[in-house]
Structure formats: C-alpha cells, structure tokens
Chain A
C-alpha cells in the first residue's frame, strides 16, 4: 500500500497538471473567440463574391478558363489543413483518418500546419509541398498555398484539387470535410467550403447578361484566382477556429479529470492518515497496558 507521503506527492503533481491545462483552456478560449470572429466577418464578402461569380458565369456564354477545365481524373492533389500544435483532442486524428481513406498511389498531398506535414511524412505518402500559417492566418499565406495548387493544376501535374480541413460547425463539433477546389466546375461548388446559403444565389436574378470591361477574359482571369485565394483564406480561418475550439474543449476535459483524480486521491489520503493514527493509538495503549 502506498504511504501517505506517496499520495501527497501524487496529489501535488496532478494539481500542477490541472493548473497547466486550466491555463491552456483559458488561452484557447480567448483565442477561440477571436478566431471565430475572424471566420465570421468574412462571410458577407464570400457571399457577394459567390453571387458575382455565379452571375458572371451565367452571363458569359462559351467562355472557358483554364482553371475551369475539367479533365478525367488521373492524379489528384489534396490540401490537408491541420494544426501546428497538438493537445487539441481528436481534431487532427479525425482529419488523418480521412486521409487514410484516400488512394495513396494517385494522390499527392500539400499540407498546411506542422501536424499535417508530420503525418503525411510519417505514413510515407507523397508530399508535394508544406506550408505554414500563423495564429491569425494572413491573406498572403493563403495566396501562397492557393497559387501553388493552381500551378500544379495548370501544368497538368494533377487533374483535380480537393481540400481536407476540419470544418467549424460549433464549439463542440468540428467535421473533417473534403471539398473540391479545382477545377472550378460548376461555380456553385465554390460555395461548398464557405457554407453560404445556396438559396440566395438562386433567388438572385441571373438572367442578366453582363458587359465586361475591358473584356471578360481579363475580368474573369482576375476574379477566378482571387476567389480561390479568398476561399483558401476562409478555410484557414475556419481551421484555426476549429483548432482553438477543439483545444479548449480538450483542455476543459483534462482539467475536469484532474480535479476528479485530486478528489479521489485526497479521500484515499485522509483514510490512510486516519488508519495510521488509529494504529498508533492502539500501539501506545497496548504498550501502556503491558507496562502496568
């Protein structure tokens, strides 16, 4: 049986752990609010961008942009967006389970976030490039990733690009989801990653034929890559929101568990202490009786 000193030592160590997880929970909670806010403010922009794209596409007849070309899919690229750090519950684990479902031989991976790169490298999958992004993802970081996959696609090295990321549903739920990125087939697909309500697009009067200035090629040639870059940025923001939420929940669970353990250990400690006192008393009285 453990001595009182052992138990005391364990209580102390668990208390330290609880303190750390509690602190991490607080930090994650603060960051989560910021990240969620950042993910939400981009919505009106995303919505308007989608409306523009949809209307532009219906307004042009027979226009074909290289980014819209759909080819039979031989090789495809998947952008895995994970977190940089662990200790965020099952977030990365769930994501990587989806990765293992993909065919190793025809898929090349592009990763964002350290954990994702590590996983792809560890499981010996083809890693085309790895990117990093900061706590508050910047547009430039998203643009770098987006440009890279567009290059892959335009050079014909891959025939389709998908993005795998933990979609933010609410603080408790994050869903790993695989969304198509390239080719920009049906423009409605662009909305998928941004969970913009699709009804609003169809409500819009799309019968109008637009004039383009200077010409449609130039305008769409700018608009399409921009919208891809923006979509990528939005995905990074959502991933951050998911990560912070998952971490907060995981840390809260850890803190609760630690508190429970402290409670149990304290009970055991007190029991043992009492038993010891009783034993000592007994020894003293028996000794006294033997003398007299």
Chain B
C-alpha cells in the first residue's frame, strides 16, 4: 500500500475529518498546494476555500474557513473556524447566509462585527463554490 498522510481537520466545535489519505490539496495563503506523504515540515495559513482529500479512487471534498495548517511528513493538521463536507452542505441555507452577510456588510458596523460578518460571508461563499464545483 502506498504511503499515507493522516489528515486531521479540527474546528472549535468538532473534529470534522480524521483519516489516512494519499494526497491533500488545500488553499494556502500563497495559493493552492498539493501535499503528498514525505512533504517537508511546513506551517502556513489556510485561506477560505476547499480541501480535497484523495483516498483510494475517491475524492473527498470539504469547504473550509480560514485557519492554520501544519504539515509534517506523515500528517496534515488543519485548524479552522469552519469545515463541512460537500455532501453536508445545505445550499439554500448557505445562500441565505451569504445574502444576509452581504446585507449586513453594507450597514454600518463596528470593527468586531465586521470581522464576524466577513468570516460568515467567507464560509458561505466557499460552501457555495464547492457545491457548484462538485455538481459538475
């Protein structure tokens, strides 16, 4: 069997994903990167977007928010404020959340509120993008 990576995706509310996979594709702060086993140790920031985990012939898609990634030769640990599997995404809800967030952003907000709203907007858009992509 080919070498594997242990991918762990943890959010403040749950451990969303924890399994051995063969390859991980994620969006770092400097762009997309693919990680194979024996990758050099690396730490970087995660941009909101998607994570694709390849396990056997199957591709697992997840939408994630911003966070941090730590990569060692054997494991990839992802800390993020939101992570959801493609199958679990509720498109209608995400769209609603996006509209609500956009509307809120046009109002006058304090710095704290803006940060929160922007985060939820990022969450919603990354969910929607992933949903559209996986459908094709």
Chain A contacts to B: CB under 8 angstroms: 41-42, 44-45, 48-49, 51-52, 55-56, 59, 139-140, 143-144, 205, 208-214, 216, 218-219, 222-223, 226, 230, 233
Residue interface mask B4-29, A partner, CB < 8 A = 1: 00001011111100000000000011
Assembly CA distance A208 to B30 (angstroms)? 23
Apart from A45-B79, A52-B70, A212-B43, 5 more pairs, CB < 8 Å: A139-B81, A212-B42, A213-B28, A213-B29, A230-B12
Instruction: Determine whether the beta carbon of A219 is less than 8 Å from that of B43.
Output: yes
Q: B79 near A52 (CB under 8 angstroms)?
A: yes
Q: A52-B79, A230-B12 are in contact. Are A140 and B112 (CB under 8 A)?
A: yes
B68 touches which of A143, A208, A219, A233 (Cβ 8 Å): A219
Point out the residues of chain B lying under 8 angstroms from A218, CB to CB: 29, 45
Which residues of chain B are within 8 angstroms of A144 by Cβ–Cβ distance?
Answer: 112
Judge whether A222 and B68 touch: CB under 8 Å. Answer: yes
Choice from A55, A211, A223, A226 contacting B40 with Cβ under 8 Å: A211
In contact, B43 and A208 (Cβ under 8 angstroms) = no
Q: B80: shortest Cβ distance to chain A, in Å? A: 9
B38 lies within 8 A of chain A by Cβ: no
Which listed residue (A52, A56, A140, A216) contacts B116, Cβ 8 A? A140
B44: interface (CB < 8 Å)? yes
Docked CA distance A214–B31 (Å): 11
Q: Is the CB of A52 within 8 A of B30?
A: no
Interface status of B41 (Cβ within 8 A of chain A): yes
| B29 / chain A contacts, CB cutoff of 8 Å | 213-214, 218
What's the interface size class on B, roughly?
A: 20 to 34
Q: Smallest distance from the beta carbon of A214 to chain B beta carbons, Å?
A: 6
Check A140–B79 contact: CB distance below 8 A: no
Q: Are A143 and B112 in contact (CB under 8 A)?
A: yes
* Tally of contacts, chain A with chain B, CB under 8 A: 75
Known interface pairs A44-B15, A222-B68; A209-B41 also in contact (CB < 8 Å): yes
Q: Are B43 and A56 in contact (CB under 8 A)?
A: yes
Q: Known contacts A41-B13, A212-B44, A219-B44; is A48 also within 8 Å of B79 by CB? A: yes
Instruction: Kindly provide the distance from the CB of A185 to the nearest chain B CB, expressed in whole angstroms.
Output: 21
Chain B residue at smallest Cβ distance from A223: B68
Complex: A140 Cα to B112 Cα, angstroms:
7
Within the assembled complex, what's the spacing in Å between the Cα atoms of A222 and B77? 17
Decide if A55 touches B115 in the complex (CB within 8 Å): no
Report the minimum CB–CB distance from B36 to chain A (whole Å).
16
Q: Which A residues are in CB contact (< 8 Å) with B10?
A: 44-45, 48
Knowing A48-B77, A218-B45, the reply to whether A140 touches B12 (Cβ < 8 A) is no
Considering only CB atoms, which chain A residue lies closest to B116 in the complex?
A140
Question: When chains A and B are docked, how far (Å) is the Cα of A216 from the Cα of B41?
Answer: 13
Can you list 16 contacts pairing A with B, beta carbon distance less than 8 Å? A45-B12, A52-B70, A52-B79, A56-B70, A59-B41, A139-B116, A211-B43, A213-B30, A213-B42, A214-B29, A216-B43, A218-B29, A219-B44, A219-B45, A223-B68, A230-B12
CA distance A45 to B65 in the complex (A): 15
Contact at B42–A52, with CB atoms within 8 Å? no
Q: Collect the chain A residues with CB atoms within 8 Å of residue B112's CB.
A: 140, 143-144
Query: What is the bound-complex CA distance between A182 and B29, given in angstroms?
Result: 28
- Which B residues from 30 to 80 make CB contacts under 8 A with A? 30, 40-45, 68, 70, 72, 77, 79
Q: Which residues of B sit under 8 angstroms from A48, Cβ to Cβ?
A: 8, 10, 77, 79
Cβ contact within 8 Å between A41 and B14: yes
A262 to B123, CA, bound (A): 56
Instruction: Please give me the residue from chain A that is nearest to B74 by CB atom.
Output: A205
By a CB distance below 8 angstroms, the chain B residues around A223 are 68
Do B41 and A210 touch (CB < 8 A)?
Answer: yes
Within the complex, what minimum Cβ distance (angstroms) separates A134 from chain B? 14
Known: A144-B112, A214-B29. A208 touches B12 (CB 8 A): no
Closest beta carbon of chain A to B44's beta carbon, Å:
4
How far is A223 from B67 in the complex, measured between Cα atoms in Å?
9
B32 → chain A closest CB, angstroms: 13
